[in-house]
Amino acid sequence: MPAVFLKNRSLVRVGGSEAQSFLQNLITTDIATLPTEEARPGALLTPQGKILFDFMIWRDGDGFVLETDDHQRDALLKRLTMYKLRAAVDLSTAGEGVTVSWEGESKGPVDGRFAKVGLSLVRQPGQHGIDDLDAYHAMRIANGIAESGQDYALQDAFPHDVLMDFNGGLSFKKGCYVGQEVVSRMQHRGTARRRVVTVKAEATLPPSGTEITAAGKPVGTLGSVVGNGGLAIVRIDRAGEAMAAETPLLAGDIPVTLELPAWTGLTFPSTADEASA
């Protein structure tokens, strides 16, 4: 059973009698329907609908744990405190580091993103595995699971860009939350054009940040890379046009193929007209 320690993850606990209502009115995740043994992705958005902070969230007794990148933790705590006002909510740090394990039995909440692809991946606070990041990232890349910092920059991506409308991290049924009007408009108008794709090549891929082009025109940018596999956020209308015209797609000067994660059910539009239909 692979078990990898992610030392750059930090935990924040939100407790108190109003913890659920506080978070439900603030973040993208519908936590009212969150089962006890599941971890769901979530985000706190800007008023313009872009991802300000992202995290995994699960129940912890009568409260919740938010697992986020250690570089986000202090700013996230500060932002939550700003929104708290007089709510009966307790905010605190809850430890450093998380172990993720898959293909076996382990205690902890199951990551709902990987459950979408039929993989049981458990997230457990503390160090219970080895520091083999490539194994985790290779598995994450193969399944089209994007993470901030490596695949997209905070305040630069909408939830739709990183497939949160498919992975359980974005609710369109609960009430208002910060940025909700923008993401709801994107959903109902079908205007999401940027999407996470898996990238494959015959040779080793160039580093993260390399531009993906078609006929010299930008299509997207490489994010996470392990060997000849990677993730990228691309304009699927532009990529679809290039693929329909059999125009080579290049990451730097390396020919690549792009695929939308099968668990999303998304397909590449073949023309600009189809993309806007």
pLDDT band for 274, please (50, 70, 90 cuts). very low
CATH code given to domain 3-143: 3.30.70.1400
Q: Which amino acid is at 217?
A: K
Ranges for all domains in the chain classified under CATH 2.40.30.110? 193-275
Query: CA 272 to CA 163: how far, in whole Å?
Result: 21
Percentage of the chain beyond pLDDT 90 is 89
Query: CA 186 to CA 193: how far, in whole Å?
Result: 10
pLDDT digits (tens, 9 = 90+) for 25-70: 999 999 999 999 999 999 999 999 999 999 999 999 999 999 999 9
Specify whether the CB–CB gap between 147 and 140 falls below 8 A: yes
Residue 222 vs residue 275, higher pLDDT: 222
Give the chain as a 3 state SS string.
CCEEEEEEEEEEEEECCCHHHHHHCCCCCCHHHCCCCEEEEEEEECCCCCEEEEEEEEEECCEEEEEEECCCHHHHHHHHHHHHCCCCCEEEEEEEEEEEEECCCCCCCEEHHHHCCCCCEEEEECCCCECCHHHHHHHHHHCCCCCECCCECCCCCCHHHHCCCCCCCCCCCCCCCCCHHHHHHHHHHCCCCEEEEEEECCCCCCCCCCEEEECCEEEEEEEEEECCEEEEEEEHHHHHHHHHCCCCEEECCEEEEEECCHHHCCCCCCCHHHHCC
Query: CA 225 to CA 245: how far, in whole Å?
Result: 27
pTM (two decimals): 0.93
Query: CA 180 to CA 191: how far, in whole Å?
Result: 15
What tokens were used for 54?
A: 């992202």
Query: CA 10 to CA 272: how far, in whole Å?
Result: 42
Supply the pLDDT for residue 271. Answer: 59
What tokens were used for 50?
A: 């872009």
Supply the pLDDT for residue 110. Answer: 96
pLDDT band for 1, please (50, 70, 90 cuts). low
Residue 48 vs residue 133, higher pLDDT: 48
Supply the pLDDT for residue 103. Answer: 75
Ranges for all domains in the chain classified under CATH 3.30.70.1400? 3-143
pLDDT digits (tens, 9 = 90+) for 233-244: 999 999 999 999
CATH code given to domain 193-275: 2.40.30.110
Q: Residue 276 above 70 pLDDT? A: no
Q: Residue 194 above 70 pLDDT? A: yes
Supply the pLDDT for residue 227. Answer: 96
Average pLDDT over residues 152-171: 96
- Grouping H, G, I as helix, E, B as strand and the rest as coil, residue 228 is coil
Percentage of the chain beyond pLDDT 70 is 96
Average pLDDT over residues 116-127: 94
What tokens were used for 63?
A: 């409260």
Specify whether the CB–CB gap between 256 and 212 falls below 8 A: yes
Supply the pLDDT for residue 232. Answer: 98
Q: Residue 105 above 80 pLDDT? A: no
pLDDT band for 270, please (50, 70, 90 cuts). confident
Average pLDDT over residues 262-274: 79
pLDDT band for 161, please (50, 70, 90 cuts). very high
Q: Residue 224 above 50 pLDDT? A: yes
What's the mean pLDDT when you consider all of the chain? 94
Give the number of C-alpha atoms closer than 13 A to the C-alpha of residue 1, restricted to the C-beta side. Answer: 16
Supply the pLDDT for residue 175. Answer: 84
Q: Residue 265 above 70 pLDDT? A: yes
